[in-house]
Structure 1
Amino acid sequence: MDRLARRLGVRDAVIIGLGSMLGAGVFVVFAPAAAAAGGPGLLVALGIAGFIAYCNATSSARLAARYPESGGTYVYGRERLNPFAGFLAGWGFVIGKTASCAAMALTIGAYLWPGQARLVAVAAVVAVTAVNLRGVTKTATTTRILVLVVLAVLALVAVVGATDVSLGRIDQPGGTTRGILTAAGLLFFAFAGYARIATLGEEVRDPERTIPRAVPLALGLVLVIYLVLAVIALGVLGPTRLAASAAPLADVVTAAGLPGLAWVVRAGATVAVTGVLLSLVAGVGRTTLAMARRRDLPAALAAVHQVHQVPHRAELAVAAVVIVVVAVADVRSAIGFSSVTVLVYYAIANAAALTLGREPARKLPVQALAVAGLIGCVVLAVSLPLSSVLSGFGVLALGAAWYALRPARH
């Protein structure tokens, strides 16, 4: 069986995690989350999403250290629960993250050239696929550059916005319990990139040590960044204006009296979302590889390139599907749909992690985190907009039906 080369250390894994998370939450999700939760509710929702992400990160890190191969929860579900649980996780991940890839590509198009957003989106998918096909070390190097640029832009927004923050704008009333949970479900979409470290598990050096260190470190750094920028965005714009904003951080620097810097922020948004798309395509390709190895997807997709050591057929197939989705989808529906399927994916990860408690070395606190993560994922999934819930669970049901009928087909 073809195997992938282990080339990534802790620093590379953390950078890939940062590149996956930075962008979606800061540049895309804050506005609809503020619309759902209001001012203080947005910060509460961010805390909820961060906590559930931490629970999931703990479970994912434990499982990835035990099963250091490509596939993430698809592998964990198969090994710790049953083949169907693994299939459902893999199916949800591939379908949901393919929608995420399309959403990120469309966002790039909207920032760079609104009049030709879909054309730019297709070009972005082709470009990041070409980078990934050159090998995972090229992906890590490119992502490192993107992360540095994004952090510089976010620091600029924080410094400029801090001069015009008003606590009175943050403390405006509004937001219901349901609205806060909806916002938390949307914001969870921004944290989900930490799993990219686990899906690259077969390419990480010393995975038993690297993965448990890289996952919480990347997640913790991103949570701090999100909290700071959420406070600044609310303090400068207020919840109503933030909810209506198409480019919240660009509006922050404009409202703070420096509209000339808005183009810098827009450029930074493009760079950030490109980093997300780069890691997303890599992660979906590797889960597709793992499913193809077990014949849950066509076996032809299991090939690994002899020179670059990447699942080239899987990544080309993913890119082709993303381009099709870009032609017919819109950003908001893609994000909502993706959130539902990804939350189901992590619910299965937490269920799989609970089985590790039967081993003598495991302690109660990590089991409690797995329980909290499992419950939290289910609650957030059903709290998302109804159209997203119906479409997400509908596609999962179609996958389950295909799985059940597959023996008859063969």
Structure 2
Amino acid sequence: MPLARRLRLGDAVAIGLGSMIGAGVFSVWAPAMGVAGSGILIALAIAAIVAYCNATASAQLASAHPVAGGTYAYARAEIGPWWGFVAGWSFVIGKIASCAAMAMTFAAYAAPESWQVPVAVAAVVALAAVNCFGVTRTALVTRVLVACSLLGLALVVATGLGGSSTATPAPLPDASAYGVLQGAGLLFFAFAGYARIATMGEEVVDPARTIPRAIALALGGAVVVYTLVAITVVLVLGGDAATSTTPLSDVAEATGWQALTPVIRIAAAAASLGALLALLTGIGRTTLAMAREQDLPRFLAKVDERWQVPRRAEITIALIIVGIVVIADLRDAIGFSSFGVLLYYLIANAAAFRQQAAARRYPRALQVIGALGCLLLVNTLPVVASAIGTAVVLVGVLYRMTRLRLSR
């Protein structure tokens, strides 16, 4: 059964913004500043450039292939089934790690430390339930959460840039070329939300026109927000941000606006929930597309007849995320997520590069820059995250090889 086309431009932009703004602006600064140091703004610029190149590749592919699944479907059509499988598998594992990171971020801002794990688990279960009752409900909830998070970020920037710090911030560590690139790789985790728009191509009205516009608007808005927040955090907290689990509420406290701390925490929690909700939606659609081709168990290809969502896929993914939340660490989740997503976009750029003149919307040079950027950043990620990511990708490859051999 095909999915219903119900999402318009505003819905698609909201889902993309919800993914990006919540996906990193409240959680990524500590690990990124810890490695990039005083080069954090350069790292942010590099991540934004690579994200833009990847976004244009995704938009071009989505215009030609308006189906669910994102680069999994695009690479299958443009390069071949194996490339599609690696892209889809990398997306699923990377974004499952992102979901765990967002649930942990929500709990860090919303609950005391001793309650954070059960609160994170409850968030995953609740939003998976929302996703199971139709995509228009997902879009509506995402709009509300994005509005709340933008309000909180506006307060952070206003207090940080307009107030006066009550203490001298610690200096940022000196930057190194490798540290800046590793910081860019971690920050890329925060920009990858535009993929959620492309993976929902089967549910967008007039996808050839809507998806490219939605991706451009969502990415442009996220770049502006991230730049303002990065400047604020650097000026107010400096090197102290590298060890903070809640840096944006710390900005309010450092500038003497402690009364705003609860408001900012609520906004951070809303942003994290918005990202988690949009991430769950995108993973469900890619899982559905892979199950239709038997690259994942066919059991997951079922679309609910009443609500027209891949309910079995949504529930299965939620259970896996709950398991990760119980055992994982936030920094490891971010690094592992970046590994999977960078591989995904490497293949997206390769697929877009292969498209012929009739389907082209952007010059091939952008796809070359995007692919080289993905290769560079993925090789600078933390060693443990890269090693685990490589092992999980190989597990997926072995699964598909075994399935193909048994089917023959």
In the superposition, the TM-score normalised over structure 2's length comes to 0.96
The structure 2 residue matched to 1:109, chosen from 107, 110, 132, is 107
Count of matched residue positions in the alignment of Structure 1 and Structure 2: 404
Amino acid at match of 1:57: A
Q: Distance in 2 between matches of 1:352 and 1:289?
A: 21
Please report the RMSD computed on the Cα atoms of aligned residues, expressed in angstroms.
1.7
Q: Distance in 1 between matches of 2:237 and 2:163?
A: 9
Q: Work out whether residues 170 and 235 of structure 1, in 8 Å CA contact, stay in contact via their aligned partners in 2.
A: no
Percent identical residues: 52
Q: Distance in 2 between matches of 1:378 and 1:392?
A: 14
Q: Work out whether residues 253 and 261 of structure 1, in 8 Å CA contact, stay in contact via their aligned partners in 2.
A: yes
Q: 1:163 to 1:369 in 2, by over 3 A?
A: same
Q: Work out whether residues 170 and 231 of structure 1, in 8 Å CA contact, stay in contact via their aligned partners in 2.
A: no
The structure 2 residue matched to 1:385, chosen from 359, 382, 385, is 382
Q: Which residue of structure 2 aligns with residue 323 of structure 1? A: 322
Q: Which residue of structure 2 aligns with residue 332 of structure 1? A: 331
Q: 1:348 to 1:320 in 2, by over 3 A?
A: same
Q: Which residue of structure 1 aligns with residue 181 of structure 2? A: 181
Does the residue aligned with 2:237 lie in a helix, a strand or coil? helix
- Greater CA deviation, 201-210 or 320-329? 320-329
Amino acid at match of 2:405: A
Q: Distance in 1 between matches of 2:13 and 2:360?
A: 25
Q: Distance in 2 between matches of 1:173 and 1:107?
A: 25
Question: What pairs up with 1:333-352 in 2 under 5 angstroms?
Answer: 333-352=332-351
The structure 1 residue matched to 2:94, chosen from 78, 96, 99, is 96
Q: Which residue of structure 2 aligns with residue 197 of structure 1? A: 197
Q: Which residue of structure 2 aligns with residue 143 of structure 1? A: 142
- Greater CA deviation, 68-77 or 392-401? 392-401
Q: Which residue of structure 1 aligns with residue 403 of structure 2? A: 406
Does 1:7 pair with 2:6?
Answer: yes
Does 1:261 pair with 2:265?
Answer: no
Deviation string for 1:232-268 (max 9, x for gaps)? 1101111x11112221111111111112211211111
Q: Shift of residue 169 of structure 1?
A: 7.1
Does the residue aligned with 1:257 lie in a helix, a strand or coil? coil
Q: Which residue of structure 2 aligns with residue 368 of structure 1? A: 365
Q: Which residue of structure 2 aligns with residue 118 of structure 1? A: 117
- Greater CA deviation, 84-93 or 110-119? 110-119
Q: Shift of residue 107 of structure 1?
A: 2.1
Q: Which residue of structure 1 aligns with residue 235 of structure 2? A: 235
Does the residue aligned with 2:256 lie in a helix, a strand or coil? coil
Q: Shift of residue 32 of structure 1?
A: 1.1
Q: 1:169 to 1:328 in 2, by over 3 A?
A: closer
Q: Which residue of structure 1 aligns with residue 80 of structure 2? A: 82
Q: Work out whether residues 18 and 222 of structure 1, in 8 Å CA contact, stay in contact via their aligned partners in 2.
A: yes
- Structure 1 stretches lacking a partner, 5+ long: none
Question: What pairs up with 1:212-251 in 2 under 5 angstroms?
Answer: 212-238=212-238, 240-251=239-250
Q: Work out whether residues 304 and 312 of structure 1, in 8 Å CA contact, stay in contact via their aligned partners in 2.
A: yes
Question: What pairs up with 1:254-333 in 2 under 5 angstroms?
Answer: 254-333=253-332
- Structure 2 stretches lacking a partner, 5+ long: none
Q: Shift of residue 404 of structure 1?
A: 2.1
Does the residue aligned with 1:134 lie in a helix, a strand or coil? coil
Question: What pairs up with 1:164-179 in 2 under 5 angstroms?
Answer: 164=163, 174-179=174-179
Amino acid at match of 1:3: P
Q: Shift of residue 172 of structure 1?
A: 5.9
Amino acid at match of 1:341: G
- Greater CA deviation, 326-335 or 26-35? 326-335
Q: Distance in 1 between matches of 2:326 and 2:173?
A: 40
Q: Work out whether residues 170 and 234 of structure 1, in 8 Å CA contact, stay in contact via their aligned partners in 2.
A: no
Deviation string for 1:100-136 (max 9, x for gaps)? 1112112222222221222111111111011111110
Amino acid at match of 2:367: A
Q: Work out whether residues 24 and 190 of structure 2, in 8 Å CA contact, stay in contact via their aligned partners in 1.
A: yes
Q: Work out whether residues 92 and 287 of structure 2, in 8 Å CA contact, stay in contact via their aligned partners in 1.
A: yes
Q: Which residue of structure 2 aligns with residue 21 of structure 1? A: 20
Amino acid at match of 1:14: V
Q: Which residue of structure 1 aligns with residue 207 of structure 2? A: 207
Q: 1:164 to 1:236 in 2, by over 3 A?
A: farther
Q: Work out whether residues 164 and 236 of structure 1, in 8 Å CA contact, stay in contact via their aligned partners in 2.
A: no
Q: Distance in 2 between matches of 1:362 and 1:133?
A: 36
Q: Work out whether residues 290 and 302 of structure 1, in 8 Å CA contact, stay in contact via their aligned partners in 2.
A: yes
Q: 1:349 to 1:370 in 2, by over 3 A?
A: same
Deviation string for 1:176-209 (max 9, x for gaps)? 0000000000000000011000011100000010
Q: Work out whether residues 75 and 86 of structure 1, in 8 Å CA contact, stay in contact via their aligned partners in 2.
A: yes
Q: Distance in 1 between matches of 2:174 and 2:124?
A: 39
Q: Shift of residue 170 of structure 1?
A: 11
Q: Shift of residue 282 of structure 1?
A: 0.7
